[in-house]
Chain A
Amino acid sequence: MMRADESSGGDTERLVAEAKESQHYTQPSRLVRVGDHLKREWQLYLLLAPTIIWLVIFLYKPMYGLQIAFKDYSVFRGIANSPWVGLEHFHALFGNDQFLRAVKNTIIISFYSLLFGFPMPIILALMFNEVLQQTFKKAAQTVVYLPHFISSVIIAGIVITAFSPGAGIVNTVLEWLGLDPVYFLTKPEWFRPIFVGTGIWQEAGFQSIVYLAAIAGISPTLYESAVVDGASRWQMMWKITLPSILPTIIIMLIIRIGNMMEVSFEMIILLYQPATYETADVVNTYIYRAGLQGGQYDLAAAAGLFNAVVAFVLVMTANTISKRYSRTSLW
């Protein structure tokens, strides 16, 4: 992921060389070298400082607070002074049906999103690439990117309205077909299809940008020689475009697998209700209810830590597998 940094080594050498010259060829101490560097480049560090301080205060300091997953956290005693309880919260979680259900739901929903949602942007990008009229292409892209920029509250509002029992368009259509109305959002069996479908509707278009960028990087000579060989457009798509973007596809797949535990819980919070918890409640919504609404901070932090560790293992595994078999990896 990070580019290997060649410059800091070279920089040190340059500093040493300069220092040598100024100090009559005696080797200055490391401290002096750093001091000289800071004196010369202090402005750079002043520019960097606010960002690093922000990261420490808002993202790294909470990592210290993560220890409450192993403590009996009391608001009055604070993080540091609350007593340790070891793995008690983890034992509690794994004996808790709600939590186990949330883990199961997270995996199922993620799996469905992956299965149905992952190929869509690839297919869309391939299709956009085959469009000859640029105006049509632009117009279609403008439309399919749009839902990505609409907030989850509004998308949820549209879903709730469209699937509502009396007035919603979905039930209106069912009525035309002579079917009985369905109270979709109160039916556990309908939650996952609606959620996964909404996710695809919202994100497939925008995610195709990444693949379009990859397609744009394919050398035109490949297509030119294919035309000379008399290849059809279908064959070119199948034999040139698709294999060329395979590394991008693999990287996106790794990212998706790494994010499996992070189903878009904001949308779930908006769409689910107690009647559908059975299929809709995921780990993050469980954390939200137990921790932020119920005040069981330590237990919820333990659930969060579990989630983060599983996600970390997932992304490492996916990356290792990918590295071994396809020489494509994130880092």
Chain B
Amino acid sequence: MKNMNLYSRGDRIFVIMNMVLLTIFALSTLYPFIYIASLSFSTGFEARAGNVVLTPVGFTIEAYKRVLSEPMFWISYRNTFIYTIFGTLMSLLFIIPGAYALSRPQLYGRRFWNLMVAFTMWFNAGLIPFFLNMRDLGLLDSYFGIIIGFAVNGFNIILMRNFFEAIPQSFEEAARMDGANEFQVLWKVYVPLSKPAIATVALFCIVARWNGFFWAMVLLQSEDKIPLQVYLRQVIVELSDDEEFANTLLTSAYSFETVSAAIIVCSIIPILLIYPFMQKYFNKGILLGGVKE
């Protein structure tokens, strides 16, 4: 479609209207982020008065000072890094070998194993049995429970398997001629050839881990183990109803609103930093995953 000529006036109007509408949609997607960022740099007084619309009013970094001076912020930030890094590594450790085995034609009962993976995408036991199982395994309130309990995901395995299946057999045969065993074929042939797919899956895992909140809230009891998202919830959702907190902050340079906004900005930054790298992969990744849907 790229270089198609525009034949009529109608076409040109159509294209321009289209661009205008898309611009409006994109701006309305972007606006809440701009609003939050501006709020975080405004004074508590102006924020409370509802004077922040687009740009910061009464520019100040007091809200950030307040957020960054909170020990719980740093503890939860550190925990999120732990869950994200080790969780993603754990996921890859399960997903890559499993998907490779599932992609091999000589695997006995391959249809059964594949079905076993796919079934979990359509049916799961639900919140309560999953929770009771985690409790019976002794994985409540543990770093390890969060890291291992969410390592595998049917969609990611199938995505990875589809990619492995698409790799021509001749690569494998050549390696086998040189006497490679399965581990060597996987590690020296398939993994290097699958970098885009592995990157896609890794990025999905990173984002899921970074954003994970519900099960962390349910499974973790100790304050010092909670990830950033759970801490965020405590600050934003729970304290928004807390009138006393709101009133004490009214007089200071920051307010509940600006502190919330600042903490939101702080927790989005890492995602924004890896977002450009993610972009080039996830178009392809979804395409791969969509094949079997």
Contact = CB atoms under 8 A, between A and B. Distances in A.
Interface stretch (A36-44, A95-103, A110-118): A36-44
A161 B127 contact: no
Interface string A150-177: 1111101110111010111101100100
A272 B182 CA distance: 52
Nearest to A214: B290
Contact of B32 (A4, A158, A270, A307): A158
A106 to B, nearest CB: 14
A47 B182 CA distance: 9
Interface in B234-270: 236-237, 240-241, 255, 257, 260-261, 263-264, 267-268
B91 to A, nearest CB: 10
A150 B210 CA distance: 9
B126 A223 contact: no
B19 interface: yes
Contacts of B279: 142, 145
A132 B2 contact: yes
B18 to A, nearest CB: 5
A45 B117 CA distance: 15
A156 B237 contact: yes
B7 A288 contact: no
A34 B108 CA distance: 9
A108 interface: no
Contacts of A308: 123-126
Contacts of A10: 105
Interface string B1-45: 110111110110011001101110110111011011001000000
A227 interface: yes
A54 B151 contact: yes
Given A2-B114, A153-B236, A175-B50, A65 B183 contact: no
Interface string A300-312: 1100110110001
B119 to A, nearest CB: 9
Contacts of A92: none
Interface residues of A, number: 107
Nearest to A315: B122
A325 interface: no
Interface in A200-258: 201, 205, 209-210, 212-213, 220, 223, 227, 230, 232-234, 251, 255, 258
Interface of B: 1-2, 4-8, 10-11, 14-15, 18-19, 21-23, 25-26, 28-30, 32-33, 35-36, 39, 47-53, 93-95, 97-102, 104-111, 113-118, 120, 122-133, 137, 148-149, 151-152, 157, 181-183, 186, 207, 210-214, 218, 229-230, 232-233, 236-237, 240-241, 255, 257, 260-261, 263-264, 267-268, 271, 275, 278-279, 282-283, 286-287, 290, 292-293
Interface of A: 1-5, 7-8, 10-11, 34, 37, 41, 43-45, 47-48, 50-52, 54-55, 57-66, 68, 79, 124, 127-134, 136, 139-140, 142-147, 149-154, 156-158, 160-162, 164, 166-169, 171-172, 175, 201, 205, 209-210, 212-213, 220, 223, 227, 230, 232-234, 251, 255, 258, 266, 269-270, 273, 284, 287-288, 291-292, 297, 300-301, 304-305, 307-308, 312, 315, 330
Given A131-B22, A149-B207, 5 more contacts: A134-B2, A142-B279, A161-B261, A292-B131, A301-B128
